[in-house]
Structure 1
Amino acid sequence: MEVGFCFWAVVLTVITVVNACPPSDRAALLSIKAALHEPHLGIFNSWTGPDCCHGWYGVSCDPYIHRVADINLRGESEDPIFQRAHRVGYMTGSISPAICKLDRLSSLTIADWKGISGEIPKCITSLPFLRTLDLIGNRFTGRIPGDINRLKELTVLNLADNMLTGSIPPSIVKLTRLMHLDLRNNRLSGELPSEMGKLKMMSRALLSGNRLGGPVPVSLSNIYRLSDLDLSLNLLSGQIPDMFDKMPVLASLNLDGNMISGQIPRSLLNSGVSICNLSRNALEGRIPDVFGSKSYFTVLDLSHNRFSGPIPKSISLAAYIGHLDLSHNNLCGPIPGGAPYDHLEASSFVYNTCLCGKPLSKRC
């Protein structure tokens, strides 16, 4: 009996050792832990013992080769550890370059901790299998690594809500698998890469709240899958490219809060865009009278521009317009009756040169 028991104990020990993560991965994780400070939740209390593949909070391993494949640490989570504490997470410190020793890593999420600072380790571009890099909601500074194109498998790049500076690396256009790009609310400057259209797989490009200048790249029309484009609250100039007849799945376009001039492209008003915010720019001329049965807008905001002339009669032919804002322009003439005007308030039309009629108090 004792011999048999010892035999199976040895077998179990061997299996456990074989299925455990290698010492090098464990050492890298402990270096990452040492560079971070999380005072309230104790999420790193589980990072003990010889096997980092089992029971280490936020760490997952490849089931076949038993190497660390995913790190998922999110400071705003529905995990019970957050619910018991009745709080969201707060963490300080930085990301140790030891992260780059986890060379089988496919997903890295260290997000929404609000206090993690320092630069993104430059060596992070040496991780050949990385598909997701999500560092949203921290205080990272410095530049996006210039050789970001080395991450050939990358599909999600989310660096929003940080303090990153410098320009968007031109090499980013070589990330041919990239589907989700979110760089909102940083301090990025310079122009958008003119060849962004090479990102053929991208469905969302969210770049608002930076200091990006120059024109809207015409090459964006080459991204057939692009459904959400947000370039608002930047320093963009020039005209809006007439490209929307080539973008059949684009549903949301936000260009508000820039210095864009010229006229609205006619193709935009009969495209598939349903959320369109062009407010707070320097757009001018007449609003094209080309609305039709394909025009379906849940939001159409053209306020705070320099549009002149009358409100287009064809707006009444649109399939649907929910929220329409034409305020703070130089429009003139009577406000038409019927849909969509019958459900709009005066705030949609105020501060124009000589608009009149309901819902304004000024009679025609």
Structure 2
Amino acid sequence: MDAKKVTTIVFCNVVVLLLATVVQSCPPSDRAALLEFRSNLNEPYIGVFNSWRGQDCCNDWYGVSCDPNSHRVSAITLRGISEEPLFQRAKRKGVMTGSISPAICDLTQLSGLTLSDWEGISGAIPTCITNLLAMRHLDLVGNKISGVIPANIGNLSKLTVLSLADNQISGEIPPSITRLTSLSHLDLRSNGVTGVIPGDIGRLKMLSRVLLSGNKLSGRIPESLTRIYRLADLELSMNRITGPIPASFGRMSVLATLNLGGNLISGEVPGSLMSSSISNLNLSGNLVEGNIPDTFGLRSYFTVLDLSNNRLEGGIPESMETASFIGHLDVSHNQLCGKIPAGEPFDRLDATSFGYNKCLCGTPLGDCKK
């Protein structure tokens, strides 16, 4: 082989290698967006951004993932040390501070953003985030993020997880949220969200968890929630919700947790709840009245059954003895009267489960007067 052919082959191989290197590097626009995003954040303790160097943000940049085909940034995953002892977290007053830069919206192929448990990230969620149509996972749990949920959040039709718990978010749940038909996990716990739960939330047929406890929500529980057949966990405690408990909750096939404690819910306890799939039922701290339904049976299996701090009357129903299992039972602070049944589960419960009623008696309380 003559020297000219050898030179040509070598040159072609070099060009191929150079082209491969160019193709496999992240675009300069993605790198610039990441650096702008990083400039708005301060994390001096762990050094999660120490590796954000060099031209290729798809190569060994901590927490950055890229699509293997397009080599565009597809996810940012930066989790704080949520398992750190509380006294240490209090001492350092948050690991990461700063805010989420709108530059994040220049990452047009971003499908996941996780900035959870840093405690110190503040500011609002950039409204332009609703333009990231590839977004599937948005997790900003455990920070100091304020402002409102972007009104056009419903544009993110591929979103499956929306976790904004433990922040300082205010305003109402945007009506457009009911367009997120792929959403399976909604967590807005421990914020300052106001207004009502959208009445047509039942359109979100993929939801398995709806966690809205610890807000300032008002109005009634939408009946449409009971038509989400995948729903396993519903937590609405510590709000200002009024009205009755929909009886159709008791007909949901996979609902395991129903936590409505600490609201202004009124009316009676639907009998269907006592022989349903629900194993963790908390109705404490409401305005519920009437009798405890006498509808327990072999299907009744409760790890937690909390009916305390209501206005319940009558006695403890005899059918409760036929339940397959009742772990924690609390009927204290009501207007109940009569003798506490003997046997399981009553013989292993203490007086706090029954205290502060009108005239309950028997073990573990005092003897009944003849």
Q: TM-score range by the shorter chain?
A: over 0.9
Q: How does 1:94-113 map to 2 (within 5 A)?
A: 94-113=99-118
CA contact (8 A) 1:40 1:89 kept: no
**2:286 pairs with one of 262, 278, 281:** 281
What SS is found at the alignment partner of 1:45? coil
Q: How many residues align?
A: 356
- What one-letter code is carried by the residue in structure 2 that aligns with 1:23? P
The unaligned stretches of length 5 or more in structure 1 are: 79-86
C-alpha offsets along residues 173-218 of structure 1, whole Å, 9 cap, x if unaligned? 1100000000000000111111111110000000000000011111
Instruction: Give the root-mean-square deviation of aligned CA atoms.
Output: 1.8
User: Shift of residue 363 of structure 1?
Assistant: 3.3
- List, as ranges, runs of 4+ consecutive aligned residues in structure 1 with deviation greater than 6 Å: 1-7
Answer yes or no: is 1:140 the counterpart of 2:145. Answer: yes
**TM norm structure 2:** 0.93
Residue 128 of structure 1 aligns with which residue?
A: 133
State the alpha-carbon separation in 2 of the partners of residues 287 and 76 from structure 1. 44
Q: How does 1:1-364 map to 2 (within 5 A)?
A: 11-76=16-81, 90-364=95-369
What SS is found at the alignment partner of 2:49? helix
**TM norm structure 1:** 0.94
CA contact (8 A) 2:220 2:242 kept: yes
State the alpha-carbon separation in 1 of the partners of residues 37 and 305 from structure 2. 47
C-alpha offsets along residues 206-234 of structure 1, whole Å, 9 cap, x if unaligned? 00000000111111111000000000000
State the alpha-carbon separation in 1 of the partners of residues 257 and 354 from structure 2. 23
- What one-letter code is carried by the residue in structure 2 that aligns with 1:219? S
C-alpha offsets along residues 250-304 of structure 1, whole Å, 9 cap, x if unaligned? 0001000001011001111111000001001010111111111111101000001
- What one-letter code is carried by the residue in structure 1 that aligns with 2:32? A
C-alpha offsets along residues 11-64 of structure 1, whole Å, 9 cap, x if unaligned? 434322210000000000000010101111111111110000011000000000
User: Shift of residue 340 of structure 1?
Assistant: 1.0
- What one-letter code is carried by the residue in structure 2 that aligns with 1:347? T
State the alpha-carbon separation in 2 of the partners of residues 294 and 11 from structure 1. 68
CA contact (8 A) 2:190 2:215 kept: yes
- What one-letter code is carried by the residue in structure 1 that aligns with 2:112? S
- What one-letter code is carried by the residue in structure 1 that aligns with 2:308? S
What SS is found at the alignment partner of 1:60? strand
What SS is found at the alignment partner of 1:293? coil
User: Shift of residue 96 of structure 1?
Assistant: 0.5
Identity, in percent, stands at: 59
